[in-house]
Amino acid sequence: MLIPVRCFTCGFVIADKYSEYRERVKRGEDPAKVLDDLGVKRYCCRRMIVSNVDIIEEILPYYEAIYRQAWQQAER
């Protein structure tokens, strides 16, 4: 899913920081240090980034299967 643009609690813009956070954590950096470097200080904003689950790659195959099935039924 997409990360929210702003923190639900305080309204701080967080969407622009998520991709860099994810890349740096994948490289092995400490998540807390990365969030500090990105300027995400409040725990509500940190929660928004840390708790985000990127599941679009898991959902997409099911959507494609449903789309193909509907397309095949329409051709009949």
Residue with the bigger pLDDT between 58 and 71: it is: 71
Query: Residue 13: helix, strand or coil by DSSP?
Result: strand
- Whether 51 has a pLDDT exceeding 80, the answer reads yes
pTM for the model stands at 0.68
CATH architecture for residues 15-75: Orthogonal Bundle (1.10)
Helices (H) then strands (E): counts for the chain: 4, 0
Of the pLDDT bands very low, low, confident and very high (cuts 50, 70, 90), residue 1 is low
Of the pLDDT bands very low, low, confident and very high (cuts 50, 70, 90), residue 17 is very high
Name residue, tokens 């622009």. Answer: 16
